[in-house]
Amino acid sequence: MVPAVAPGVVPVRLVLVRHGLSSFNTEHRVQGRDDLSSLTPEGRDQASRTGAALRGLTFQGLYSSPLSRARDTAEALLASHGTGAGDLLLDDDLLEIDLAPWSGLLRSEVAQRHPEAERLWRERPESLELARPDGSTYRPLPELMVQAGRFVDRLLQEHDPAGEATVLVVGHNAILRCVLLQLLGLDASGFRRLRLENASISVLNVSQGPEERRQVQIESLNGIAHLGVPVPSRGRGPRLLLVRHGETDWNRQGRFQGQIDIPLNANGHRQAEAARAFLADVPIDRAYTSAMARPRQTAEAILGSHPGVPLTSTTGLLEIGHGLWEGRLEQEIAEGWPQLLADWKRAPETVQMPGGETIHDVWERSLRTWSRIAAGLDASETALVVAHDAVNKAILCALLGLSPGDIWAVKQGNGGVTVIDYPGGADAPPVVTSLNLTHHLGGVIDRTAAGAL
């Protein structure tokens, strides 16, 4: 597949970092916009580790919330990174959500004193209304979405997506989730679909497309491996680990493989082994794979650290059928089907592959299979699912609330790991806990092959 941002070209790379562990985090208190909470020693260590993990990047822009827990994180991060904080801009549009009536209260106290409002905050936060001291009411999350949109617009005016820059943004849980939603063109109803840990790293690529359309790609989301933990802790409900297969020779060559059964190459086997080591201490109860060699070989390698876990193959997770494009390089396809290839890059949801499938076909069968796997898990179980680029992208777009036309908004590196949780059970909305983690493959930035499917 051709990613939303062309290989090797990153016009604006946004690196989003949530502040380190704070005193209110440890006490389970509501922080909100008040500056009553401070960075803990562990939080400072997390910030330093984050700076070390980002040393390979040079920043052309540095932004932080002015609240002390974020500002102190940014300063400790930059000291570890080797970049001075002199150019750090403290931006009020990165302030955390305004939960003033609850600020300083224990979460348990909020639940006891305001049970209906607390339930609404957990289930439909976009509908929550709170009262100001003058008796007027306001809706914290819609207000924060406006604030996040304002920040995104100003940021991209300052750092033109037609240029090239890497920008660090240090903020808070809610505001960074709203920044993500604004970049993806999603509304506040998607707030609970995302998760961000203290000192986590998320990377987005933003470019200016035709007709001044902004193109956004999530390269990774909520990575914490630099803190010594592979994936975030799990809570209630089933968990699924979605992995893309390791590299093949055709990935490396940029050849469209589709449903031709190409095995892993030597690097692909190394990537599968790296994924095994990365997930070695993560419990896995069941495993599923596409009925093709490259995902099966990847799954078998990962299960080397989980002996006895049954592996089930399914045709529902097969890669998209490219039909007459399969086995061809992109240049060959451009010569034979120039308009269709251009449409595939610009509006993939409109394309019928010659003799193959549409992305809608892949969307329907992949989601049907995924939902069946999730529904078959007990609340305490974790399932490994290993599949392909287009399949994984279709699943993730659906879980994020995106459409089939948005598949380029999600990156899936060879051997990358994604974590999906269902805290309310398989029938309730999922949480994209982490997306395309590739720390085990060489660092924060995904440098796996950018070739065709």
Q: Catalytic residue numbers?
A: 245, 319
Q: What angle do CA 72, 173, 401 make, to 5 degrees?
A: 150
Residue among 213, 321, 317 nearest 260 (CA):
321
* C-beta separation of 101 from 137 below 8 A: no
Residue 417 one-letter amino acid: V
3-state SS, residue 339? helix
Long-range contacts of 346-354 (CB under 8 A, 24+ apart): 346/210, 347/405, 348/404, 348/405, 348/407, 348/408, 349/403, 349/404, 349/405, 350/405, 353/320, 353/321, 353/322, 353/323, 353/324, 353/325, 354/323, 354/324, 354/325
Q: How far apart are CA 253 and CA 262, in angstroms?
A: 12
Strands 61-64 and 165-171: parallel
Residue among 217, 205, 148, 204 nearest 176 (CA):
148
Q: How far apart are CA 58 and CA 5, in angstroms?
A: 19
Chain center to CA of 147: 22
Going from the C-alpha of 44 to that of each of 31, 38, 59, 75, the distances in angstroms are 18, 10, 21, 10
